[in-house]
Amino acid sequence: MSRQTKIKRITAADIAARKGGEPIVALTAYDAPTAEILDQHCDVLLVGDSLGMVVHGLPSTVGVTLEMMILHGQAVMRGAQKAMVVIDMPFGSYEESPEQAFANASRIMKETGAQAIKIESGAYAAETVSFLVQRGIPVMGHIGLRPQAVNVAGGFRAKGRSTQECADVLEEAEATAKAGAFAIVVEGVAEDLANQITAAVSVPTIGIGASSSCDGQILVTQDMLGLFDWTPKFVKRYGDLKSVIDKAAGDYAAEVRSRSFPAEGQVYSLKPKLVGDTA
């Protein structure tokens, strides 16, 4: 009997080595079937806390819990075999102290089997990143527009529109890289600033609403597939899944109401009784 070849999963070290090389392809994933489809195309699958908005219908990511992230992370790990799976740490699960962050990050990795976690790394977070990395937890940083800080920022607002803001975001990026993050998501910043950050840090940058010069790109999969009427400016729609689902559901509803579904091909019939069958 031939032994099935085991697929080698991409690691944090593999992603870190892509700095300045082949662009990193990343998308979000929240369930096993989608993860299985995306796995062959992506280097990184992010179980983002964006699931609060795009899956659970919350107004922001602030209401996402650790249990939600673990549940979706487990599902994605069942579907993906090759891509590195990174799981967001939700709001309130890492800000209090490095010790709190380690307790929750280690729980995520133990219960899901994921390869890394991601935190929104403001100026306060460098100590936490270093604490986690030193204890064996690969960390992806996230700077620029930070969705978990939406209540402080007053909305989802792009960063880098002023000289001071540019300096602050660049400082966040440099501190995150120096602390040991293996990659940094750069979200919603001016293109020139994204280019400056990519040149300044020694780890890969993964842009979302940033610049094509970043070391990789990520989008929310549901946005990219066209599941919503509105998407951010930086999203390019590669599909129109909302229309496809709408048409399929409409066709199904019409056939149910006309009693044309189920038809002969979708129902079971009794097997003919065989001669001598006493059952």
Establish whether 50 is an annotated binding residue: yes
CB 39 within 8 A of CB 82: yes
Asked about 187 being catalytic, the answer comes back as yes
Establish whether 260 is an annotated binding residue: no
Q: What is the per-residue burial (b if ≥16 Cβ within 10 Å, else e) of 25-60?
A: ebbbbbeeebbeebbeebbbbbbbbbbbbbeeebeb
Establish whether 120 is an annotated binding residue: yes
31: left (phi over 0), alpha (psi -120 to 50) or beta: beta
Establish whether 49 is an annotated binding residue: yes
User: Cα dist. 152→62, 176, 201, 232 in Å?
Assistant: 12, 21, 27, 20
* DSSP string of 240-259, one letter each residue: -HHHHHHHHHHHHHHHHHTT
Which residues have CB under 8 Å from 72's CB, separation 6+?
A: 30, 31, 47, 51, 55
* DSSP string of 136-166, one letter each residue: T--EEEEEES-GGGHHHHTSS--B-SSHHHH
Options 127, 187, 191, 264, the catalytic residue? 187
DSSP state of 218: E
Instruction: Report residue 205 as tokens.
Output: 């940058």
Instruction: Report residue 2 as tokens.
Output: 């031939």
How far apart are the C-alpha atoms of 58 and 51, rounded to whole Å? 9
As annotated, the binding site includes 49-50, 88, 118, 120
As annotated, the binding site for Mg(2+) includes 49, 88, 120
> Known catalytic residues?
187
As annotated, the binding site for 3-methyl-2-oxobutanoate includes 49-50, 88, 118
